[in-house]
Chain A
Amino acid sequence: MIGQDVLQAIAHWAGLGPDEMEAVSLSLTVAFWAALTSLPFAILTAYALARWRFAGRGLLNGLVHLPLILPPVVTGYLLLILLGPQAPVGAALGKFGIVFAFRWTGAALAAGIMGFPLMVRAIRLSIETVDRRTEEAASALGASPLAVFFRVTLPLALPGVLAGVILAFAKALGEFGATITFVSNIPGETRTLPSAIYAFLQVPGGESAALRLVAVSVILAMGALALSEYLARRMKQGGL
């Protein structure tokens, strides 16, 4: 998915073996899908928290923030209880061919949930800065609430949306506790970067491979940070 050439170049530069390459590639895939699929839910949740006054708003806010506060292992275990092969929800979904436990999709789900609070926070703050009077002006021109959202609110909140996506992506790359609890550490399926580093550290002579992956992690993290800074600056100039 992310340019194979680029991965090959990184692999060559860092001297990564096929196992290590696999972990990097899987991590990027998992993080990409985690960030992408949680985005619509995060936007909806952020909008609801920023703009709507409803019963249970405090509860929703607490639920969203839970993964940030709970030990990741607990989150992973809760997912396992809920979506494991024997669990009712997991079994029901399994009938439709949707399986999360011990699959890379489960890794993406765990990573998405762990990054969700960060994404919601960034988007919510951005929506709160959008002037409601500008939205009023749009509705006075005939735009329905949905049109106001897509033509005014969302474009004006775009910096926060991008920041949220990048934060969640970076968080997903590094997610370990929930992932390993929920989907274990299966090479090629659920062995993401952190799991691979952990695994290498468990075997004698694995330090050099672990160190190479640490270097890749640092590069990816810095890259994500640089990208978000760049986008923020572009947007401040009104260029995007």
Chain B
Amino acid sequence: MIMSLDVAFSHRFAEFSLDMAFDVPEGITVMFGPSGSGKSTALRVISGLMRPDAGHVALGERALFDSATKTFLPPHKRSIGTIFQDARLFPHLTVRQNLNFGRRYAKTQLSKRDETQIIDMLGIGHLLTRRPEGLSGGEAQRVSIGRTLMAQPEMILADEPLSALDPARKGEILPYFERLRDHARVPILYVTHNPLELARLANRVVVLGQGQVLGQGRAADVLSDPALSPAVGSGALIEARVQTCHPDGLAELAVGSERLFVPSEGMDLHVGQGLRLRIPPHDVMISRHRPEGFSALNIVEGRVCGLRDMNFASVMVCLETGAGRILAQVTRRSLAALDLKDGTPCFAVIKTVAIAHDNLGFSSVQAGH
């Protein structure tokens, strides 16, 4: 059965009104937006902590809220698991008791095998007899993910689950969400304002601003949309496959019809592996002719497919290349000097260092998923 969350609601607060509609299919949909854009209200509406003025929320065939039929399911009947920013473990229970808390409310019995699998995936087997107060931030968050999974929700909300963690712990937790994305058969709505998390995790993106949906769609499409890019600030997202690992510390990646080189140091890359690359717009230069005698390794051919004013001095240029859509941020002066217009053929020069370790995410999804 294919599950999908369908949300459409409007609500007026005293000084702020919201009107949004989006859907969340299986996999991770990242909800992205600055604070005050309505993210937390949307989450409260979906989880049942708030009743909006009008609209509906449906999970698959099941209506969770519908102002037309006066349907409103309370939070505990929605089968929506939430992973919070702070782990919110139960301090009076052991880790094992925390994990088991929601099991009795699940519709189906969790098999011993699934239980072991969850505990192994999160690497929390050695913590089971401990109490939450003794856990590190990263450990607590892993337990809270496990607690949500063991309740077998039909949907998962992740409310900025990494933002309370330091960068090292973030790196520790991100891979679990990647595994969740690729293996859990439920819709996951992941809220963040971190472009890195967005680029690594998203199958789909919903961009919010001032209570409205500014745009939504496949991650690669939304991230390469020059109209949305300023709001997101992430840069284009590209799915690549490792082609060759060269002995000089570079990995050669196949991206569409192009080849890109990234430093492979410290990463356990193997041939055939899928990778996600994030390309920040300010790390992309544009040249009208193929540059020669140039230190940058990654040069792809393409043509301009859109322009968007960024601010007083610079412009966002969208390029359709053999490697997919890439965004480049250039100054107005360069734009004029190069005479860039819609359809102008050109070359995008991507600084190799721009595709840094931090911007690489492991992905077992087929490119174009």
Contacting residues, chain B, for A158 (C-beta < 8 A) = 92
Let me know if B88 and A155 touch, CB within 8 A.
no
Q: Which residue of chain B has the shortest Cβ distance to A154 in the bound complex?
A: B92
A148–B88 Cα distance when bound, in Å, is 14
Let me know if A133 and B88 touch, CB within 8 A.
yes
Let me know if B84 and A143 touch, CB within 8 A.
no
Selected interface stretch from B4-12, B73-81, B260-268, B297-305: B73-81
Let me know if A140 and B101 touch, CB within 8 A.
no
- Which residues in chain B, 128-171, are within 8 Å of chain A measured between CB atoms? 131, 133, 144, 147-148, 151
Given contacts A137-B82, A137-B84, A238-B131, contact A143 B102 (CB under 8 A): yes
Let me know if A136 and B106 touch, CB within 8 A.
no
Q: Whole-angstrom distance from the CB of A153 to the nearest CB of chain B?
A: 11
Select B81's contact among A131, A136, A141, beta carbons within 8 Å.
Answer: A141
Let me know if A141 and B84 touch, CB within 8 A.
no
A134–B98 Cα distance when bound, in Å, is 12
Contacting residues, chain B, for A138 (C-beta < 8 A) = 90, 101
Let me know if B80 and A140 touch, CB within 8 A.
yes
Contacting residues, chain B, for A156 (C-beta < 8 A) = 91-92
Select A139's contact among B76, B86, B92, B144, beta carbons within 8 Å.
Answer: B76
B49 within 8 A of A: yes
A140–B82 Cα distance when bound, in Å, is 6
A54–B79 Cα distance when bound, in Å, is 30
Interface string of A181-221 (1 = CB under 8 A from B): 00000000000000000000000000000000000000000
A131–B90 Cα distance when bound, in Å, is 10
Number of interface residues of B (CB under 8 A): 26
Q: Which residue of chain B has the shortest Cβ distance to A140 in the bound complex?
A: B82
Interface string of A63-93 (1 = CB under 8 A from B): 0000000000000000000000000000000
Let me know if B92 and A142 touch, CB within 8 A.
no
B16 within 8 A of A: no
Let me know if B105 and A142 touch, CB within 8 A.
yes
B47 within 8 A of A: yes
A37 within 8 A of B: no
Let me know if A142 and B84 touch, CB within 8 A.
no
Contacting residues, chain B, for A140 (C-beta < 8 A) = 47, 75-76, 80-82, 148
In the complex, the number of residue pairs spanning A and B with C-beta atoms less than 8 Å apart equals: 64
A151 within 8 A of B: yes
Contacting residues, chain B, for A145 (C-beta < 8 A) = 74, 76
Contacting residues, chain A, for B47 (C-beta < 8 A) = 140
Let me know if A144 and B90 touch, CB within 8 A.
no
A152 within 8 A of B: yes
Let me know if B49 and A142 touch, CB within 8 A.
no
A70–B178 Cα distance when bound, in Å, is 65
Contacting residues, chain A, for B91 (C-beta < 8 A) = 134, 156, 238
- Which residues in chain B, 56-97, are within 8 Å of chain A measured between CB atoms? 74-77, 79-82, 84, 86, 88, 90-92
Question: Among the interface residues A133, A136, A147, A158, which one has the most CB atoms of the partner chain B within 10 A?
Answer: A136
Contacting residues, chain B, for A238 (C-beta < 8 A) = 91-92, 131, 133
Let me know if A152 and B80 touch, CB within 8 A.
no
List chain A positions with a Cβ less than 8 A from chain B: 131, 133-134, 136-145, 147-148, 151-152, 155-156, 158, 238
List chain B positions with a Cβ less than 8 A from chain A: 47, 49, 74-77, 79-82, 84, 86, 88, 90-92, 101-102, 105-106, 131, 133, 144, 147-148, 151
> In the complex, given contacts A141-B101, A141-B148, A152-B92, what are 7 additional A-B residue pairs having Cβ atoms less than 8 angstroms apart?
A134-B90, A136-B75, A137-B84, A140-B47, A140-B76, A140-B148, A141-B76
Q: List 30 A-B contacts (CB under 8 A).
A: A136-B49, A136-B82, A137-B84, A137-B144, A138-B90, A138-B101, A139-B75, A140-B47, A140-B81, A140-B82, A140-B148, A141-B76, A141-B81, A141-B102, A141-B105, A141-B148, A142-B76, A142-B77, A142-B79, A142-B102, A142-B105, A142-B106, A142-B151, A145-B74, A147-B105, A148-B76, A152-B90, A152-B92, A155-B92, A156-B91
